[in-house]
Chain A
């Protein structure tokens, strides 16, 4: 078998490794094909059919995510037949989708809305029943509205294949199909659902069916400044984006470029940031006067601190002084603390919490 395969996509010659799927070949050529159920990290059910393409000589429209390229294949990704098929799929999905985009947390970052816009679906021809599932608000950190679900199954697969918890699966049949934890318990009933609240399902959901509870109503995607940084909890060193609006951190979202963790985080990384704006935060230096803390200026605090330190150094010598640095602080700060001990105090009495 040849190592590479050359095919034509929308009239453009593309050479890719043998075994590549048409979808990825198109992506490599810079051609965007819509997807719901496809995710490069997960298994491929080829279920949603929104990625269908037309291939010369083929009778039907195959899903490009599970169709391997062959030599000389001629693919059209936006032919009339393809567009008609996609429009029908979108109309069917929209026929059973709540019309509350205005207040949906996913507004502006929703694949269903993106594709409806792309293919100009204003109204659906399929008028009929709509599902009326109760919203699952039982989780402390996740909000699940299965009426918005497009049944792509990515949450089911990410939880089974990556997180290993198998919390979700499809329940019921046909129109009543719904993704739910076993016995349809609330996600927040963690003893029964088995959910560890890592939010990998949020990271893969293409629509507003699963969203971060703490971000609801806080900001629209275009109002948010995303700042890539490194998690302050354990030593894994996961990367994520701090979502900032008006000088406030309003949430944490996955950054797929994170070298250690990709889109996956644990519950602390994704939902453990409230301490930043806690009302308990100290915002002014304190000096204890007659047994009580008194707020003082930085100038007074630093002047007093350094004069006391200098007195003690003069009286007892540097070895009567010590520094406890911090495994929570940056390398730069630890380096400077090492200079405080070894230069300003003149002692090697420096340690931190590595042993604890």
Chain B
């Protein structure tokens, strides 16, 4: 997030796109309610009528993949009506003419159909966003898990820069991160193209810095993303994989392909709390430690670095950091870490954004990066006065339909996401008695009109199939989903929806298109 969670309540215009905030980020949704109670306008763009969509002043039920059209049309209206922030555009951005040209044909009338609301409503939203004293965009996987994911995010950036709605309190671009430490894992360089602190591996200065810090010549060749790892394993080029606390056998698209890939490895090590679907395929399984059993830090969606404190001894005798450090030593790279705090000190040395953070400071309270020095108070919102790259760059974008759209054989769009009561592949949440008692069985949402046409009653078992596989689940007949769409979560192995999903990826970020694939729905015998 460029803003902080605490700033949301003071925001005047909230534009939420592709985020089921009340279920996936419940505490952030409370802040949105506070803003709404104060009189803020809430716009929600989502194909599904989620709880946050019902709370909205305007719900835009856009067609799957219609994110760029919506934002391009908003830019078109804002430019056409002269509502853009001319001073911001002149002083802080480049490429305005290219944007202007790219959106010229994106008139509200020509795209109202796939955006799902009348042209005048789109105009109203565009005007409201541009004129608000503070407007912020909130998004999650609803816009990123598409083959156009990177461009969807760039479209968000276009809109915020065009209106100068960024780099101010309660005003900015706010991806809500879905996992407790997904922000931190990225910050720490658990990515194939960057070292800790987003320092590109292709940059010779960075390569030199880390070669000297770690005492080993570093490679400038960008590594493989998770989807590419699976492909390379499938081809037999990747031989060994060490997986820590992940369950790609449920979370990744096209599970059959994932399974073949993992089985094709010469050596698979999995470190996890449980014998997960993925761990079952491993050659060695190392027991993991839960968050209650170790010291450390998590970085949340607003870049806030917070302590995780050991409350009980590790059940298997070792915290994960101890196991990893021991593997490093046994591989010939001895370490000198006596505690998690020692590791953090090394992180602070090599990661500019974390340079001013230490465990002793975190005892006084959390800190938001960038925090470059020991006396820096941390950063509440980003891009004040200047963007990281200097001038903000507009990108000309065109409508890119999803890779696999419904056809005669597979007439429905399958959308996937989360439920309030569960998390990711359910390894943790499904073992919580209360959560399982409340939500113990997954179903598939289908619109009443579609259900009626297919003679499906509420609770009937249905078979949902794509080109890659099929699953059975109970039908939940609800108008939360529009006609022509079915929806379920990826939390339940019994309803492993990723057998169906498409592994087609965004060419830049390599994110799979988990939000759109074509399926057919039949009553199961």
Residues of B with C-beta under 8 A to A196:
26, 420
Q: Are A326 and B189 also in contact (CB < 8 A) when A275-B273, A355-B510 are? A: no
Q: Judging by beta carbons under 8 Å apart, are B25 and A324 in contact?
A: no
With contacts A230-B298, A272-B432, A282-B287 taken as known, whether A236 is within 8 angstroms of B244 at the C-beta atoms is: no
Contact between B311 and A229, CB atoms less than 8 A apart = yes
- Closest approach, in angstroms, between the C-beta of B489 and any C-beta of chain A? 13
| Residues of A207-227 whose CB lies within 8 A of B | 213-214, 225, 227
Is B442 located at the chain interface by the 8 A CB criterion? Answer: no
A338 within 8 A of B: yes
Q: Cβ of B484 < 8 Å from any Cβ of A?
A: no
The reply on A278 being an interface residue by CB < 8 A is yes
Nearest neighbor of A321 in chain B, beta-carbon distance: B240
B240 touches A235 (CB 8 A): no
Contact A237-B434, Cβ < 8 Å, known A288-B283, A350-B189, A351-B192: no
**A280 and B275: CB pair below 8 A?**
yes
- The residue on B at minimum CB distance from A325 is B190
The smallest beta-carbon distance between B380 and chain A, in angstroms, is: 12
Complex contacts, A323 vs chain B, CB 8 Å: 190, 241-244
The reply on A247 being an interface residue by CB < 8 A is: yes
B55 to chain A: which residues have CB within 8 Å?
164
| CB-contact partner of B180 in A231, A278, A298, A352, under 8 A | A231
Is B113's CB within 8 Å of the partner chain A? Answer: no
Asked whether A338 and B188 contact (CB < 8 A) given A264-B27, A330-B298, the answer is yes
| A266 → chain B closest CB, angstroms | 4
Contact in complex: A305, B190 (CB < 8 Å): no
Determine if A273 is an interface residue (Cβ-Cβ < 8 Å): yes
Q: A99 an interface residue at 8 Å Cβ cutoff? A: no
Distance, CA A278 to CA B290, complexed state (A): 11
Within 8 A of A (CB), among B12-38: 24-28, 30, 33, 37
Residues of A within 8 A of B183 (CB): 235
Question: Contact between B185 and A343 (Cβ–Cβ < 8 Å)?
Answer: no
- How far in angstroms is the closest Cβ of chain A from B99? 27
Interchain CB contact under 8 A, A259 and B311: no
Docked-complex contact B267 and A312, CB < 8 angstroms? yes
Enumerate chain A residues within 8 angstroms of B326, measured Cβ to Cβ.
Answer: 302
Closest to B149 in A: A355
Q: Mark A322-350, 1 if CB is under 8 A from B, else 0.
A: 11111111111111111111111111111
Interface string of B165-202 (1 = CB under 8 A from A): 00000000000111111111111111111011000010
Whether the pair B308, A330 counts as a contact (CB closer than 8 A) is yes
If A163-B30, A233-B180 touch, does A330 touch B245 (CB 8 Å cutoff)? no
Least distance between A281 CB and chain B CB atoms (Å): 6
**Interface check A308, CB cutoff 8 A:** yes
- Whether A266 pairs with B26 at a CB distance below 8 angstroms is yes
The verdict on A244 contacting chain B, using a C-beta distance below 8 Å, is yes
Closest A residue to B232 by CB, please name it: A322
Known interface pairs A337-B324, A344-B332; A327-B179 also in contact (CB < 8 Å): yes
* CA A324 to CA B238, docked complex, whole Å: 13
The bracket for how many chain B residues form the interface is 35 or more
Partner of B27, one of A190, A214, A261, A348: A261
Asked if B25 and A234 sit within 8 Å, CB to CB, the answer is yes
A249 beta carbon closer than 8 Å to chain B:
yes
Partner of A352, one of B185, B320, B333, B510: B185
Beta-carbon contact of A230 and B307 below 8 Å: yes
| B399 contacts the other chain (CB 8 A) | no
- B229-253 contacts to A (CB < 8 Å): 229, 232, 237-246, 248, 251-252
Could you say which of B201, B214, B267 contacts A339, with CB atoms under 8 Å apart? B214
Decide if B5 is an interface residue (CB 8 Å cutoff). Answer: yes
A303 to B286, CA, bound (A): 12
B239-A306 in contact (CB<8A): no
Given contacts A329-B244, A344-B327, A349-B229, contact A230 B180 (CB under 8 A): yes
Judged by a CB distance under 8 angstroms, whether B331 is at the interface is yes
Point out which of A140, A273, A331, A343 has the most chain B C-beta atoms below 10 A from its C-beta. Answer: A331
Contacting residues, chain A, for B324 (C-beta < 8 A): 333, 336-337, 340
The complex places the Cα of A282 from the Cα of B275 at a distance, in Å, of 7
Contact B285 A268 (CB under 8 A): no
Query: Among the listed B182, B296, B316, B328, which residue makes an inter-chain contact with A354, where contact means beta carbons less than 8 Å apart?
Result: B182
Q: Which residues of B sit under 8 angstroms from A315, Cβ to Cβ?
A: 239
Query: Which listed residue (B224, B252, B272) contacts A356, Cβ 8 A?
Result: B252
Q: Tell me if B427 counts as interface (CB < 8 A to partner A).
A: yes
Contact present for A336 and B343 (CB under 8 Å): yes
Contact B294 A330 (CB under 8 A): yes
* Smallest beta-carbon distance B477→chain A, Å: 14
Contacts of A336 in B (CB 8 A): 321, 324-325, 328, 343
Bound Cα distance A132, B393 (Å): 68
List B contacts of A286 (CB < 8 A). 275, 282, 284-285
Q: Which residues of A contact B251 (CB under 8 A)?
A: 353, 356
Given contacts A276-B292, A288-B284, could you give 14 more A-B pairs where the C-beta distance is less than 8 Å?
A162-B30, A233-B180, A235-B300, A237-B304, A260-B304, A267-B420, A267-B421, A272-B434, A278-B274, A306-B327, A329-B296, A331-B181, A352-B185, A352-B186
15 A-B residue pairings within 8 Å (CB atoms)? A233-B428, A261-B27, A274-B431, A274-B432, A283-B287, A283-B315, A284-B316, A285-B284, A330-B321, A331-B297, A337-B324, A346-B216, A349-B238, A350-B189, A355-B144
Which residues in B have some Cβ–Cβ distance to A below 8 Å?
Answer: 5-6, 24-28, 30, 33, 37, 55, 144-145, 176-193, 195-196, 201, 210, 214, 216, 218-219, 221-227, 229, 232, 237-246, 248, 251-252, 266-267, 269, 272-275, 282-288, 290-302, 304-313, 315-318, 320-321, 323-328, 330-333, 340, 343-344, 346-347, 365-366, 420-424, 427-429, 431-435, 437-438, 509-512, 514
A residues with CB within 8 A of B: 140-141, 161-164, 190, 196-198, 213-214, 225, 227-239, 242, 244, 247-249, 259-261, 264-268, 271-278, 280-288, 293, 298, 301-306, 308-310, 312-313, 315-316, 318-356
The 9 A-B pairs of least Cβ separation, nearest first, read A237-B300, A330-B296, A348-B223, A326-B245, A235-B177, A140-B437, A266-B26, A327-B182, A325-B190
